[in-house]
Amino acid sequence: MGNIVAFDLGASSGRAMLGRLVDGNIEITELHRFSNDPVQVGERLHWDILRLYHEIKQSLIIAKNQGVEVDSIGIDSWAVDFGFIGKNGELVGNPYHYRDRHTENMMEKLFADIPASEIFAKTGIQFLQFNTIFQLYALKQANSPWLQEGNRFLMIPDLLRYFLTGDMHNEFSNATTTQLFNPNTGDWDEELLAKLGLPKSWFGEVLQPGSKAGMLQASVCEELGIPSIPVYAVAEHDTGSAVAAVPATERSFAYLSCGTWSLMGTEVQEPVINELAQELNFTNEGGAYGTYRLLKNIMGLWIIQETRRVWEKAGKAYSFPELVKLAGEAAPFKSFIDPDDALFLPPGDMPGRIAQYCRQTGQQAPETDGEVVRCIMESLALKYRYVFEMTERLSGQSFSGLHMVGGGINNTLLCQWSANAIGKPVWAGPSEGSAIGNLAVQWIAQGVFSDIWEARRAIRDSFPVTEYVPQEQEQWGRAYDQFVKRTGLEK
């Protein structure tokens, strides 16, 4: 039944996935995959937004050359980052990367003007130094010309949709991550915007996932030699799309979207905004069809990716399977890190920082490459247990296991260790969760599926899910006690 395309943009790569329904089963085919490389210019780290737009257009050309008539498209990406459109309709400056250092110390400075408790009460969003609110505050502090020339604020998928259609909209799931959207009013928080000195006119109508957001404009159709195609607003924060694709059978479920970032939480109908949520630094991000994602960010596979990049520059070109093999051969539980320590946020020498962290916490630093990777992977699995238990406490639920989706599930050792750590089954699949959730929302918008639960049943029937049963419970229990002690997470 037709051909639809999901553009799924991650922090290190992007892909165009073609989706079809055949006899009720979802079939996906990768049309195009491309790297997403940040660009350092002087002191600033940018996204190459025009390169991403070029790759989206290349994907549509590939589909045309394969004889595929595309019925609709949707775009999802990472959160928090944005650009401005000027009065002349053109992009003002190349968007900053969330790992750029211009937000350092901005949380504390902003809290002197607006208390953290007030911001959380209005938005329900966890505090991370790269959140949009702190990026905008940093631009204000720097007297950025972007703020003088900008006329409309658009998140990354909003920007790319604008380039394609000429229409400017802000989508719900990504808008909530800005820490400027009030879920109680269902709109941008005008009081926060006023205190920050940001015009409300910059922030447009907020579209819900499943809304039609425009058609390919004539200039794009002429350039690519294709007819106009509807463009839908999906759950445009990639985690929102990934959660839409969780093949859960129970309405109460825990998930882990595992990739460059690990995002763990549960789906709720109303945001959980209270003192405990703020104390635990949980977030309430918008999801598909009026839901909220009560979750917590975990640094994720970024630490391994950056470690691999550093070794590659030094002449040691490990594949990811080789790194996993080295980790499996190393001795267990020799040292631990808190993956969410600020030390591991910016790019740089991760092996050196891991050694520094271990020395600072009275541990022996990993000595071999295998020990470094094992330290990262074991620490991630143990941090998953820590956040899993916090999610149960905050939501008032007890989960029977953990659904893992995303590219990280290809690391089968991490999946097994995660099950060992939480002491409950892990159900891993599908790996292309964000792209599949993107497709699902488009199909729901077209009336192919009646709702998200019918779509999830189709996803469950169409893609394999691997179950990992907990093992070595006693050893992992002791390791967890050491982990929370060494990392200072012990309460």
Residues designated as active site: 238
Which tokens belong to 353? 């920082």
Which tokens belong to 474? 């006693």
Rounded CA gap, 352 and 355, in Å? 5
Rounded CA gap, 395 and 265, in Å? 9
